[in-house]
Amino acid sequence: MLQEIPRTEAVPNTPQITAREAEAMARAVIRLFEKWQLSDAEAREILGGLAARTYARWKAGEPGRIDRDLATRLSLLMGIHKGLRYLFSDPERGYAWVKKPNRAFGERTPAEIMAQGDIFSLARVRSWLDAERGGW
């Protein structure tokens, strides 16, 4: 006897990043950039070309409205941080990794790759870390 399989919704119920979560990630990313020893210019590029005034407000603890693109970048950065924490038992080695040339990135540093400004470069670093720790 045939049995009908329930249809899936056209739009899956995927939770969105809330404004509070995005603000918390923004604060965490500012601290992370300090640990990575990134310049403000590098940080702004990684965040998609954020204006200097906007980034200064972020550093002062006032991130303002965070759109979907920026929330996605913040999420990728949190994933990169998490991947580094899994790979390195010493957090300082993980922070330093971001500024060291890497053969997987053509002897460029992960910071240089991420600072290309496009979201795909962030995803590339995140994917490499996920694959390195066996996340695939």
- Tell me the per-residue pLDDT of 33-69, one tens digit each, with 9 for 90 and over: 999 999 999 999 999 999 999 999 999 999 889 999 9
**Coil, strand, or helix at residue 102?**
strand
Answer whether 0.75 is exceeded by the pTM.
Answer: yes
Burial 69-84 (b: 16+ CB within 10 A, else e): ebbbbbbbbbbbbebb
pLDDT at 5: 80
Q: Which residues of the chain have pLDDT under 70?
A: 11-14, 135-136
pLDDT at 50: 94
Q: Which amino acid is at 83?
A: G
Q: How far apart are CA 101 and CA 28, in angstroms?
A: 25
Q: How far apart are CA 130 and CA 136, in angstroms?
A: 7
DSSP H helical ranges for 12-107: 19-35, 40-46, 52-59, 68-87, 91-97
